[in-house]
Structure 1
Amino acid sequence: MAHLLGAENLHLEFPTKVVFDNVTLGIDEGDRIGVVGRNGDGKSTLLALLSQRLEPDDGRVTHRRGLTVGYLDQRDILPEGATVGSTVVGDLEEHEWAGDPKIRDVIGGLVSDIPWDVSVDELSGGQRRRVALARLLVGDWDVLFLDEPTNHLDVEGIQWLAEHINRRWSSNQGGMVVVTHDRWFLDAVSTDTWEVHDGVVDPFEGGYAAYILQRVERDRQAAASEQRRQNLARKELAWLRRGAPARTSKPKFRIDAANALIDDVPPIRDTVALAKTATARLGKDVVDLLDVSVSFDGTQILDRIEWRIAPGERTGILGPNGAGKSTLLNLVSGTLAPTSGRVKTGKTVQVAILDQQLADLAQFADDRVREVVARKKTSYVADGKEMTPAQLLERLGFTAEQLSTPVKDLSGGQKRRLQLMLILLDEPNVLILDEPTNDLDTDMLAAMEDLLDTWPGTLLVVSHDRYLLERVTDQQYAVLGGHLRHLPGGVDEYMRLRAAGTGGGTASAAAAASAGRPDTAGGTGSAGAVAGSSASAGPGASAAAASGLSGAERRTAEKEMSALDRKIAKVGADRKKLLDQFATHDQSDYAGLGELQAKLAAHEAEIEQLEERWLEVAELLGV
């Protein structure tokens, strides 16, 4: 693969911190790299260095001659006074951009619901983000640097972006480096992962899930100083292996090794114990929405919703922007009265909301963290153990020094964690999380999820982060066309329904018409047909239909996959024997060590070839 750009011996330091020290890495054609790490460790700075937007104190970054670089930062700077259309497509005439399928795809995927002639100065933060992303993606670039591209995108927008990235170049062309906290997106687009920490960049093969496995193995071999971090990663690996089937099929997980790693890890939630505790705290009645409808200015938002929320229920709420998710949660919390119908709330219910605004921290702006904590309860029970607020803060990633920091000086992620801790110390029994992943890095998300696993109450989550939804909730509902619909198939079922056109699309149709573009939203009739056919077909039929194989072809492919599994296991065992020989071989016998090394390289090459074929067969089978 051709080399695109490289960094050699990079050193960069700020007045109070060494950001990078002696970092060397490169990007080749076909690389799709996800960047993870704690907030403040230098992920965005790394992108700025590699794109030559920032000069290192020492070392150098080199680009291939004629390399074109596209960059999306977090500021969404757009030309003042420009229209959406001119910002996205520039001076191109309508027949030029309308005749380009790539540009049409970007417009349809990101800005179809934004009027074409409106000024960008009038757009909301989310709309500005989508316009900035569309403006970048309509261009032709050899390398894309994307800094938090999924911010403000809904579940469908994130899936569209992943699909766009995957089809933008062929597998051995172009390069991409993305910083994001959206772990589903990282798994969907990344072939490699870079972890930024402590002034260095550690490379890992594969997406986020493969990175978690490799990090667990690395941590197990290291000293026990990072025991707590290792346990979090092992717990997340356990969920990845036991949970979403799509993540368990890749052979590069080394499935046997992964199973060995999680042998002693219990299920992430003791659902029986949590349900028992929740019932004791809440009683039988939580919140019942009985034939509830809500209208604003004559527009129907929710139509005859029937939802009985149970003690200990852990539910994720999905739906396009503007569908009525926040309205639904406001009904549950009691901050909104229905236009018709009735909301029945249990006598013991105490609702708490973790919202996007951090408004409840404003009153503590000038207080130090330890002073705010001291006003709350002196203890909290997690995992059956009593913890002090300071221990809870440590579990959520605060250091001892940060306890003396005024609340107003905390970062966005730290404020989010403090907000969650204060809510938990109040011990509500119904917790509503509204986009809780904002400003949190992947390690802090894992810590928050770990804490929520032991929280014994009713949990309602609205988030565009499908990884979080699948991780902390046990069932999902969708708000579509004003109705609340259960999703037995989870987020994947929601995506199928939306692709089939369920849930309307009136706003998008109006916007598309005003922009002179065709409406791509489907009707509800086709959705019903799809849902009906899915329900009537068995698993084997749906799998065969998804893969496009005949029955005989599918059986042949399944046999080949089984044979490949056996070969990979055998070659892996031979490789292990070679590694054992290395440990016992005479270290002064250089010729013998060279022969062992050659054999080891041959085994590793064979494993790689087998795994590549395994992936090809898996893709044919649709697993």
Structure 2
Amino acid sequence: MANLVNLERATIHSGTRVILDGVSLGIGTGDRIGVVGANGGGKSTLLGVLARRRTLDDGRVTHTGGLQIAEVAQDDDLPAGATIREAIVGDAAEHEWASESRIREVLGGLVGDERAGALGGLGAVVDRLSGGERRRVALARALVADADLLMLDEPTNHLDVEGVTWLARYLTTTWARPDRALIVVTHDRWFLDAVATATWEVHDGTVDAYDGGYAAYVLARAERARIAAVTEERRANLLRKELAWLRRGAPARTSKPKFRLDAAAALISDEPPPRDSVELMRFATARLGKDVVDLHDASLAFGERPMLARVRWQLAPGDRIGLVGVNGAGKSTLLDVLAGERPLDSGRRKQGVTVRVGHLTQDVRELDELADRRVIEAIESVRTSTMLAGKPVRASALAKRLGFPGPRQQVRVGDLSGGERRRLQLLRVLLDEPNLLLLDEPTNDLDIDTLTAVEDLLDGWVGTLVVVSHDRYLLERITDRQVALLGDGRIRDLPGGVDQYLQLRAGMPAPARQAAPAGTAAGVGGDAPPIPSGAAVAGAAGAAAGGSAPGSAAGGATGSSTASEPADRGASPPAANPAQQREARKNLARIERQLQRLTEKAGRIHTDMAAQASDHAAMVRLSSDLRAVDTEREALEEDWLAQAELAE
């Protein structure tokens, strides 16, 4: 493996602050490196240094001869007045670039074919594109360049789940070659795990290198912290003995301290308990009663494009729902409707009398009126303390937990970074003590440590939660169920989670997959029927999906349900006879035993990963084994759902 870039004793100062302090590292052919770290910690600066865009105060950076670099920065530099085609392939004739399969693949995945309607076709002028659309064009331009080193700074910003998945797959298959290297700054942990073979953490002027993606990075980081804690404990014990000897005047008979150095056992013993969904639902019901928000035959359209088409949705106390969909499908609009901030064209919205809504929007400009206040004043203007996990928490302590230590609490709101403003928004929403929390892309501009703190906070939050996010890791971490907007005005349950959504999208015809222009509804299309699930389908869609399920409005039980009016009403399938029900119950028991064995197998793999966190080859093998277990478990869960419907 040859080095493409070498960094030697690199040092950069910004005023009195040291951003890089004598950092030495290299990028070799075949490397795929993820860069993580706190906001403002120097990640983008490091990329600028590696690309020779940023001058060093000391040290040097060298490139191999003839190195070709393609970059995507957080602020793109697309040429003004150029068309999408010109921005991506320059002035090359169509027969030249269209004959290359890799270019056709990039255009199809990011800006061509199915997205042509949203972007206005390849002849559209880039000046008129939204931020997300410009990001797609900038990515396409970098990917079609025949570069040796690809440098991406937050490439998943503004991309939907489908776009992030496509990009990860492309970078690890078509683009990847033994003579190329990739370095990417990202806070998207799923993307980091899918793409990176090594992780660099930038902090306090240094760069720590870890083998593997996010999962391996977390394990290795935890192990380093554990070893450091053990070392510090040993040093403190020695100091205490020395002080005791000095006080007594003669050496005492003491036994040698013993330490348990098993990394896996230490990690597992510190593992937090899983979220108790039943207990949280019990508390949520006590706070909310039985009614949260119900939508009855709700319809809403922008022009002739339907956002909601006779949707029936019942949010229940304690529901934790992740909402996914292509950009422009109406996810933010649906949150506005649930919050009561956008009127319906027809139908009815019903809200429980005890419901208190907290709505985190994507617009950080709502903080502009607080620009001259200090952070702690902006927080305490809402409330000075709140209840969290059944305990009182002061506003200043909650602020510290979400990345505002004492000195940062005294900073003017107008001087905060984008990530800090996002955190302040979330703090103000939480301090208002809502019991229905609607979050629209809450992870935008947040670094990984802050994301972890936010997830930990939301994991034990009591109430009903609806989250719109392209961050698959977040959705799987804090929600118990996912639903999708596919652009046809209906809401679909996703028993198989985000993977099922991607499969549905891949199976739809191109016109139905097309995203809508910014500020409009999604394109109409798609004949895929609603997906039955355990939460399943109520009202009009119940007939098409096979009748009401427990937890639906028709069933009368507490629980959320979604439905919308299908184009054609089909007859309900016949109910299973007693013999089929008995067979289904036997199959359920068998599947549950298999799932239990897989859970135990996954636990053993996690134990091995903790024990071999520093062994890259072992981590790669164990990660592959874990993915195989997850795949088998997903198939069994789908079988379980099918048998559960027969057994009812």
TM-score band w.r.t. shorter chain: 0.7 to 0.9
The structural deviation recorded for 1:54 is 1.2
Return closer, same or farther for 1:276/1:522 CA change in 2, 3 Å cut-off. closer
Which amino acid in structure 2 is aligned with residue 346 of structure 1? G
The amino acid of 1:354's aligned partner reads L
Give the length in aligned residue pairs: 523
Between 88-97 and 35-44, report the one with greater CA deviation. Answer: 88-97
Residues 445 and 508 of structure 1: CA distance in aligned 2, closer, same or farther (over 3 Å): closer
Residue aligning to 1:269? 275
The residue number in structure 1 matching 2:258 is: none
2:185 maps to 1:179: yes
Q: Is the 8 A contact 1:504 1:524 kept in 2?
A: no
Task: State the secondary structure of the residue aligned to 2:46.
Answer: helix
Residue in structure 2 matched with residue 557 of structure 1 by the alignment: none
1:443-489 deviation line (CA, Å, top 9, x unaligned)? 00111111111211111100111111111111100012211110011
Deviation at 1:149, TM superposition (A): 0.6
8 Å contact from structure 2 (residues 329, 516) kept in 1: no
Determine helix, strand or coil for the equivalent of 2:451.
Answer: helix
Identical residues among aligned pairs (%) = 53
- Equivalent residue, structure 2, for 1:77: 77
Query: Which of the numbers 365, 379, 392 marks the counterpart of 1:373?
Result: 379
Displacement of 1:198: 0.6
- Residue 526 to residue 89, structure 1, CA distance change in 2 (3 Å): farther
**2:418 and 2:52 mapped to 1: Cα distance?**
27
1:410 and 2:419 aligned: no
| Residue aligned with 1:212, SS | helix
Q: Aligned pair 1:10/2:10, yes or no?
A: yes
Which of 491, 498, 501 is the matching residue for 2:498?
A: 491
Cα-Cα RMSD: 3.3
Cα distance change of structure 1 residues 221 and 409 upon mapping to structure 2, 3 Å threshold: same
CA-CA distance at 1:614 after TM superposition:
6.5
1:239 paired residue number: none
Q: SS of the residue aligned with 2:137?
A: helix
- Deviation of 1:396 (Å): 0.6
C-alpha deviation, 1:526, in angstroms: 11
1:135 paired to 2:141: yes
Distance in 2 (alpha carbons) for counterparts of 1:608 and 1:507: 41
Q: List per-residue Cα deviations over 1:68-108 (Å, max 9, x = no partner).
A: 11111111111111111111111111111111111111111
In structure 2, which of residues 402, 405, 416 is the aligned counterpart of residue 399 of structure 1? Answer: 405
Q: Measure, in 2, the Cα distance between the counterparts of 1:102 and 1:394.
A: 47
Task: Find 2:507's aligned residue among 484, 495, 500.
Answer: 500
Q: Mark the CA change 1:51 to 1:457 in structure 2 (over 3 Å): closer, same or farther.
A: same
* SS class of match (1:41): coil
For 1:201, the equivalent position in structure 2 comes to 207
Structure 1 Cα separation of the partners of residues 230 and 364 of structure 2: 36
Q: In structure 1, the residue corresponding to 2:285 is in which secondary structure?
A: helix
Find out whether 1:284 has 2:253 as its counterpart: no
Q: CA deviation at 1:613?
A: 6.3
The change in CA–CA distance for 1:58 and 1:434 in structure 2 (over 3 A counts) is: same
Q: Secondary structure at the match of 1:99?
A: coil
Structure 1 residue 152 displacement after superposition: 0.8
The Cα of 1:335 is off from its aligned counterpart by 1.4
Supply the distance in 2 between the matched residues of 1:296 and 1:463 (Cα, whole angstroms). 23
1:312 aligns with 2:333: no
In 2: Cα distance, 1:444 partner to 1:183 partner:
12
Deviation at 1:224, TM superposition (A): 8.5
Report the equivalent of 2:357. 351
Change beyond 3 A, Cα 1:74–1:616: closer
From 413, 428, 437, the equivalent of 1:422 is 428
Matches within 5 A, 1:22-33: 22-33=22-33
Paired residue type of 1:278: A
Partner of 1:600: none
Kindly indicate whether the alpha-carbon contact (under 8 Å) linking 2:375 and 2:413 is maintained by their aligned counterparts in 1: yes
Q: Which is helix-richer, 1 or 2? A: 1
Moved more, 330-339 or 372-381: 372-381
Contact persistence 1:23–1:201 (CA under 8 A): yes
Match of 1:452 in 2: 458
Distance in 1 separating the partners of 2:496 and 2:276: 22
Tell me the distance in 1 between the aligned counterparts of 2:625 and 2:376: 56
Give the AA of the match of 2:408: Q
C-alpha change, 1:616 and 1:171, in structure 2 (3 Å) is farther
Partner of 1:439: 445
Contact persistence 1:500–1:527 (CA under 8 A): no
Secondary structure of the 1:33 match is strand
SS in 1 for 2:461: coil
The equivalent residue for 1:55 is 55
Q: 2:319 is matched by which residue type in structure 1? A: E
Q: Relative to 1, partners in 2 of residues 1:217 and 1:613: Cα closer, same or farther, differing over 3 Å?
A: closer
Provide the rounded CA distance (Å) in 2 between the counterparts of 1:618 and 1:387.
Answer: 38
Determine helix, strand or coil for the equivalent of 1:173. Answer: coil
Identify which range, 63-72 or 181-190, moves more after superposition: 63-72
Give the whole-Å Cα distance in 1 for the aligned partners of 2:73 and 2:285.
47
Residue 328 of structure 2 corresponds to which residue in structure 1? 322
- TM-score, scaled relative to structure 1: 0.78
The CA deviation at 1:619 is 8.0
Shift of 1:608: 6.5
Report deviation, 1:611. Answer: 6.5
Report how far residue 167 of structure 1 moved.
1.3
Q: How far does the alpha carbon of each residue in 1:344-372 deviate from its partner, in whole angstroms, 9 at most, with x for none?
A: 11111111111111233222111111222
Secondary structure in structure 2 of the residue aligned to 1:505: helix
Q: Which moved more, 1:108-117 or 1:371-380?
A: 371-380
AA at the equivalent of 2:169? E
Q: Distance in 2 between matches of 1:608 and 1:455?
A: 37
SS of the residue corresponding to residue 269 of structure 2 reads coil
**In structure 1, distance between residues paired with 2:530 and 2:354:** 40
**Structure 2 residue 294 is the aligned partner of structure 1 residue 296:** no
**Residue aligning to 2:542:** none
Please give the TM-score of this superposition, normalised by the length of structure 2.
0.75
Distance of 1:185 and 1:135 partners within structure 2: 20
Tell me how far apart the structure 2 counterparts of residues 527 and 382 of structure 1 sit (CA, whole Å): 37
C-alpha change, 1:507 and 1:392, in structure 2 (3 Å) is same
Letter aligned with residue 495 of structure 1? L
Residue identity matched to 2:89:
V
Deviation at 1:437, TM superposition (A): 1.0
For residue 168 of structure 1, give the secondary structure of its aligned residue in structure 2: coil
